[in-house]
Structure 1
Amino acid sequence: MQKEGEQDGKAASELIDARIKELGDWRGEMLARLRALIRQAAPEAVETWKWRGVPVWEDAGIICTGETYKAVVKLTFARGAALPDPKKLFNSSLEGNTRRAIDFKQGDQVDEAALKALVREAVALNRSKAKR
């Protein structure tokens, strides 16, 4: 029986490593950088692999997903609409009532401190909802 996040017996972290390597361009580099920042901000988060190939970071619920497209690497925060975003990182999926996303294009700078703060806020929100 496969564990959640596994595919063909491989752990989610291995699948994410393979995705980064497979991309082989700026998107792989960006995904690896974002992954490192998420891990720094939420060291207890668990990496999973869902929806046929989407890296997901979870702590008491989904923190965010890391999708790769031709022109962007998208971090979608599951409860982004409920998170404070003083640095205005969210620039995509702004119309919904729940999710918010950040699209990173080639050459974009990453505000590391603001992104880590956003991840920590997402974890805190998930944990507060889980306690209820």
Structure 2
Amino acid sequence: MAYNEHAACPCGSKKSYKNCCKIFHEGKYPQTAVELMKSRFSAFVVGNIDYIISTTHEDNIEYSENKSKWREDLQNVISSNDFYSLEILDFIDGKEESYVTFKVGIKQRGLDVSFTEKSKFLKIDGKWLYRSGEFLDD
């Protein structure tokens, strides 16, 4: 199912998806780790698996050389979860390494499985990539 580009962007920016995260999903590079975080969350909402894969650092635990299996795993995550909110709690900006702490709202078969995470992002060849995340107690 295609996401309505005129609907509010899933990242919570109050802009339309077309004027927010869609530009990153179509090839513009996020300038900050926060932009990458928000656009990755939106990619889970709209089902843009290729964007999720292309913005994941190769040292990430989820990273796989077997892209078809990885795509299948991501599709299962996307189809079995309702990603409904994102709240940025903290941002530590750096030139090559940044941290974003966020709370993501997720429901899985009606159960709230929301979590808070502190994510590490690395800038490699001018592009921000998601390196790792640590779950935090709410």
- TM category, shorter: 0.3 to 0.5
Higher strand share: 2
TM-score, length basis structure 1: 0.34
TM-score, with structure 2 as normaliser: 0.33
